Amino acid sequence: MGKFIYLDNAATTKTDPKVVEAMLPYFTENYGNPSSVYSFAAANKEVESEQREIIAKSLGAKTNEIYFTAGGSESDNWALKATVEAYADKGNHIITTKIEHHAILHTAQYLESKGIQVTYLDVDENGLVDPEAVRAAIRPETILISVMFANNEIGTIEPIKEIGAIAKENGILFHTDAVQAYMHVPIDVEELHIDMLSASAHKFNGPKGIGFLYIRKGVKIRSFIHGGAQERKRRAGTENVPGIVGMGTAAKLAYATLDERAKYESELRDYLIDRVLKEIPYTRLNGDRVKRLPNNANFSFRFIEGESLLIMLDMKGICTSSGSACTSGSLDPSHVLLAIGLPHEIAHGSLRVSLSEETTKEDIDYLVDELKKIVARIREMSPLYED
Amino acid sequence: MGKFIYLDNAATTKTDPKVVEAMLPYFTENYGNPSSVYSFAAANKEVESEQREIIAKSLGAKTNEIYFTAGGSESDNWALKATVEAYADKGNHIITTKIEHHAILHTAQYLESKGIQVTYLDVDENGLVDPEAVRAAIRPETILISVMFANNEIGTIEPIKEIGAIAKENGILFHTDAVQAYMHVPIDVEELHIDMLSASAHKFNGPKGIGFLYIRKGVKIRSFIHGGAQERKRRAGTENVPGIVGMGTAAKLAYATLDERAKYESELRDYLIDRVLKEIPYTRLNGDRVKRLPNNANFSFRFIEGESLLIMLDMKGICTSSGSACTSGSLDPSHVLLAIGLPHEIAHGSLRVSLSEETTKEDIDYLVDELKKIVARIREMSPLYED
Amino acid sequence: MAYSEKVMDHFEHPRNVGEIENPSGVGTVGNAKCGDIMRIYLDIDDNQVIQDVKFKTFGCGAAVATSSMATELVKGKTVEEALGVTNKAVMEALDGLPPVKVHCSLLAEEAIHAALWDYAEKHNLKIEGLEKPKSDIHEDEEEEEEEY
Amino acid sequence: MAYSEKVMDHFEHPRNVGEIENPSGVGTVGNAKCGDIMRIYLDIDDNQVIQDVKFKTFGCGAAVATSSMATELVKGKTVEEALGVTNKAVMEALDGLPPVKVHCSLLAEEAIHAALWDYAEKHNLKIEGLEKPKSDIHEDEEEEEEEY
Ligand SMILES: Cc1ncc(COP(=O)(O)O)c(C=O)c1O
Ligand SMILES: Cc1ncc(COP(=O)(O)O)c(C=O)c1O
Ligand code: FES
Ligand code: FES
């Protein structure tokens, strides 16, 4: 099939073969339901708590503060919907931002339809939330602040520690959607004053369909999925043992290489950013130059529409994505790019490149070389571009 | 490790090695996010809809009426919580039964705490719901009837067609929790007038952590997990492609063998029931003798406590489960056994044996022989038993 | 994106990209929803036959492919015949488009109409069945399930 | 169920199962929550030394194992010493119990107390520190997370 270069690791990652290997026995050999009495299955309960421990340790949390879910979206939904109910007698106001993932934004909009007040904070041109704006938005009836750890499109890392401190000072719960950040940057829930944190395994070489919500001990939160007594009665459903083992194994592997990986990827990322900005005219980098995920680069090319760019890169064997959601049902340009102030037509021509530890300098060179040609070709075709 | 006989297929099943094989490429090769533009990932979108088609066909449903979830519990929660909101202007009353799985019961109790009226119907001594009782419970403000297809403890199959007809006649939505029934008995949503149906892959040799909710076209229902545009905007979250492929493959395999399997298993089940009732005194069969799942047998042994029985069977390499939830955090005896009228101490001594197509007559003979000895030994130890 | 082979071919090798100097008519339309823009240049002879046609498009893959196909379809046709080149005809010629991409083909139809209108205005003609083009196209979405 | 090896051993090979004819004391207690029942028979000599002990239990694995261990612990002890065999002591001797099973060990402690009470009553004795047993044991659950 010729060249194949996967540069969309923010969308999902390859499951590590070691992870798959660790999962395999739990499909056809140790397939027992962990809630069962007999030893065959009870062993799975221990395997599960080993995974919980690995994850807890990676966050500076306690084992019984980690709750397995079916992924980042469920974790986000749970965190918002359930705290809003549990703290209804305290207030009905939550604070979040304009650049959250839809799993937060659409949930917040749903909550608005139920009478919850939501403040959506602005961000600056680099996508940064101002902690002082968080402070200013706090009201007596504020029960929750939810600010993402790092943005999934433009890679900006938010001032979580500062926001956490403000939340703590004011006795308000602080949730962070760390789906893009977990295992890509170091996170310590104590140091950062995080009360709840969402993560999803398939963003760090684990399997799809499994994630977790960290819930600090003492946080009141109702079940989101009611039923059996799994997950300390807080999340019902027969445990996805292979998935849990997959996530735990992936976390263990990723945690061991975190610093090294971040260093490698960010160097490559900087090389990519430098080349693109230098060699392709009418181009801008979206997101903060420094406070950004090690593996994320996001560009806007003027006079260019995103999908055409993606398809042409695809024809060259390069997988990337666009800020434009044109293709996923909605035709609106990215809410994130609009929030950082890009006009519609520029927001349309954006490209997200997200690296992995397998990405090489040769890959980046190939990408940039092709990108130059493709951008030129599309501009040639564009009625907006007069050279 | 000596003998190993797995007779707890109602708790979970072994994932079929063919299913695992079908899943494998989607971890490390075709790992792309189905929502992506590039061809590498877009192919997964088609794979997904193939699975949807397999499942739709097995139910007499349309492809776009199948929505993937993380399992039976999520499907049940979704069906109840979301319809209650979507039909709030029609009414606030739902009808269910006393023998539902906790995924329904605890959800219904949660809804009660939100002001929803819930009728929990009684069942007869065999666990059967009376369709006329359903009819009698209907009020002008009734918006949903939810009756399980087959009970997970005692195996009784409910008169779904009659209940469906009553629901339809009265213009009320009808949901059925078919987690135990799907792929064990034939189901046609048209013939049975089912509007929504929950299922879970790990109950039919598919993987854990994946299931679906059938939603008839035209049923108004909000999202349960808000976020991205997946599942026609009704269930957010990066699709669990390996899980979906696993469930589809399992459904395909199971559908092809359904009749044959049911025949084989029910013969073996009847052989087991006959031997136990004849050879072990003070024993009763729980659940309907005829209207019962092909693979389920459930007994109560007087003067016997369930957990001891399970552990002793476990020591003989036999995996079974008890109606008693003693071990899973709660110490109350099974709500199902109480609902069919068993006194506490008898409800405590119950045993569920659930077969698979791999179960042999030798397995059953071994089970019954050991059971006789163990029951005698425990009775020996029991202060309730005076021989 | 399940684009047909024909779509991919026209996308990869778009026909008639470019501009015409001193065109008989030129039309530019945009889709308000997705922000995409298409411009068509026509060269029409005295017998009202389209001798040449060029396009420029700022838009998705489908927009590029439908522009390309639309130009092929109208080339050599009379003005009257060109009016019959609907978005349906363009889609058929491309072996279909994914549902979310149907609106892109409207862009092509409207751009041709706009160019023909421009031609008619410049030449003081009245073309039967041609209406003044809107500069922005709005189209109803595919019927969707009710959402909550 | 993560039962220790000691628990499994006592469960598989319970010591002192059975009855004593004409016992010095017998005690039966039940746990209202789980419905389990335990009965202990004591044979006590004139020096208030427990010469023999037997039990019958309708209960879970932990109940059987704690009964068994408790009988072992009190055998040969004086009545006064036997009073010191608390559920904690039984659990320790069994290398612990899972949290949900702690209440089962109370059953053993209470059954011994009930048998001693019966012995005291029959022999018109007053045993220091022994209270009239309740027939049903109620115990506060483990502290649980608030639920919603
Ligand atoms: C009848 C019934 N409903 C719902 C469920 C929940 O399914 P899951 O554990 O896959 O979420 C089960 C099985 O556990 C069941 O037997
Ligand atoms: C920031 C962020 N939050 C939430 C999600 C949702 O995670 P999932 O798709 O695993 O449910 C994603 C990824 O899709 C994400 O990038
Ligand atoms: S032209 Fe706008 S999405 Fe195709
Ligand atoms: S004695 Fe009741 S659960 Fe152990």
Judged by DSSP in three states, B333 sits in coil
End-to-end CA distance of chain A: 36
Give the separation between CA B96 and CA B115, rounded to whole angstroms. 16
Q: Whose CA is nearest to atom 1 of ligand 4?
A: D104
Would residue D137 count as lying in a domain? no
pLDDT average, residue stretch B161-188: 98
Contacts of B249 (CB under 8 A, 6+ apart): B16, B18, B19, B22, B23, B51, B206
User: How many domains does chain C divide into?
Assistant: 1
Residues B23 and B142 in one domain: yes
From A201, A223, A253, give the residue that closes a domain. Answer: A253
Q: Is A200 in the pocket of ligand 2 (CB under 6 A)?
A: yes
Per-position b or e across B19-35, b if 16+ CB within 10 A of its CB: bbebbbebbeebbbbbb
Strand partners, B146: B175
pLDDT tens figures, D28-37 = 998 766 778 8
B46: nearest Cα among C3, A199, A121: C3
Cβ(A320) – ligand 2 distance below 6 Å: no
Q: Which one is predicted more confidently, B350 or A255?
A: A255
Classify residue A386: in a domain, yes or no.
no
Q: Considering only CA atoms, which of C12, C107, B43 is closest in space to residue A311?
A: C12
Q: Is D135 exposed, middle or buried (0-12, 13-18, 19+ CB in 10 A)?
A: exposed
- H/E segment holding residue A59: helix A39-59
- The interface pTM score, or ipTM, of the predicted complex is 0.91
A328-370: per-residue pLDDT in tens? Answer: 545 677 899 999 999 888 888 899 999 999 999 999 999 999 9
Burial C95-123 (b: 16+ CB within 10 A, else e): ebbeebbbbbbbbbbbbbbbbbbbbbeee
Work out how many domains chain B is built from and give that number.
2
Interacting residues of B254 by C-beta distance below 8 A, sequence separation 6+:
B183, B204, B205, B261
**Has residue D20 been placed in a domain?**
yes
Within chain B, strands assigned E span 5-6, 66-69, 93-97, 117-121, 142-146, 173-177, 196-200, 211-215, 283-285, 296-301, 318-319, 350-354
In terms of residue numbers, what domain contains C37? 5-126
Residue D86 placed within a domain:
yes
Is chain C adjacent to chain D, meaning 3+ CB pairs within 8 angstroms? no
On whether residue B132 sits in a domain, the answer given is yes
Instruction: Tell me the C-alpha distance between B85 and B92, whole Å.
Output: 9
**Interface partners of C (3+ CB pairs, < 8 Å)?**
A, B
The reply to whether A387 falls in a domain is: no
Which residues lie closer than 8 Å to D131 by C-beta, 6 or more apart? D113, D117
For residue D4, give both structure tokens. Answer: 């220790």
Q: What does the DSSP 8-state code read for residue B157? A: B
Residue at D38 is within a domain: yes
> Rg of chain A over CA atoms, in angstroms?
21
Please name the residues between 199 and 218 in chain B that touch chain D, using a CB distance below 8 Å. none
Which residues of chain B does D64 touch, with a Cβ-Cβ cutoff of 8 Å? 308, 381
CB A293, CB A184: distance < 8 Å: yes
Residues B91 and B220 in one domain: yes
Write the residue in B16, B36, B236 that is nearest to A8 by C-beta.
Answer: B36
Active site residues of C: 34, 104
Residues A170 and A227 in one domain: yes
Rounded alpha-carbon distances, angstroms, from residue B332 to B9, B326, D30:
23, 6, 14
Higher-confidence position of D8 and C136: D8
CB A220 within 8 A of CB A87: yes
- Whether residues B352 and B270 share a domain: the answer is yes
Radius of gyration of chain D measured on its C-alpha atoms: 15
Residue D19 lies in a domain: yes
pLDDT band at B215 (very low <50, low <70, confident <90, very high): very high
Question: Does residue A290 belong to the interface with chain D, where contact is any CB pair within 8 Å?
Answer: no
In this structure, the answer to whether residues A173 and A309 fall within a common structural domain is no
d(CA A21, CA A246): 9
Q: Are residues B128 and B249 in the same domain?
A: yes
Q: Does residue B267 share a domain with residue B247?
A: no
Structure confidence by residue, pLDDT tens digits, A97-117: 999 999 999 999 999 999 999
Q: Specify whether B53 is located in the same domain as B167.
A: yes
Question: Are B200 and B338 part of one and the same domain?
Answer: no
Expressed in angstroms and rounded, the spacing between residue A249 Cα and the centre of ligand 3 is 42
Q: Is residue B387 part of a domain?
A: no
Pocket test for ligand 4, best of D102, D104, D139 (most atoms within 8 A of CB): D104
Please say if the pLDDT value at position C136 is more than 70.
Answer: no
CA of B177 to the centre of ligand 2 (A): 29
Nearest to C142 by CA among C106, C112, C102, C87: C102
CATH number at residue A49: 3.40.640.10
Is B386 a domain residue? no
Stretch A88-99: mean pLDDT: 97
Asked about D34 being catalytic, the answer comes back as: yes
Token pair in block for residue A65 = 């503060």
Domain extent at residue B293: 5-12+258-381
Q: Are residues A245 and A286 in the same domain?
A: no
Q: Does C58 sit within 8 Å of A307, measured CB to CB?
A: no
CA distance A326 to chain C (A): 7
C-alpha span between B208 and B72 (Å, rounded): 10
**Range with the lowest mean pLDDT among A281-285, B228-232, D143-147?**
D143-147
- Do B114 and B70 share a structural domain? yes
Cβ(D89)–Cβ(D116) under 8 Å?
no
Assigned domain for C135 exists: no
Tell me the two tokens of residue B363.
């397995």
Query: Contact, B34 vs A202, CB < 8 A?
Result: no
Q: Can you give the CATH number for the domain in which C15 is found?
A: 3.90.1010.10
B208 and B325 fall within a common domain: no
Last residue of a domain, one of A218, A253, A288: A253
Of A163-172, B28-37, B106-115, B271-280, which range is least confident? B28-37
In the listed set B253, B281, B300, which residue is the last one of a domain according to the structure? B253
Whether residue B368 lies within 8 A of chain C, CB to CB, comes out as: no
Residue D81: inside a domain, yes or no?
Answer: yes
Residue pLDDT, tens place only, B264-314: 999 999 999 999 999 999 999 999 999 999 999 999 999 988 888 999 999
Say if CB D113 and CB D27 are below 8 A apart: yes
Considering only CB atoms, D64 lies closest to which of B329, B331, B381, namely B381
Is the pLDDT at B131 greater than 90, yes or no?
Answer: yes
pLDDT digits (tens, 9 = 90+) for D71-112: 999 999 999 999 999 999 999 999 999 888 888 899 999 999
* DSSP secondary structure letter of residue B203: G
Res. A198: pLDDT tops 70 = yes
- Residues A237-249: pLDDT tens digits? 999 999 999 999 9
Catalytic pick among A20, A219, A312, A326: A326
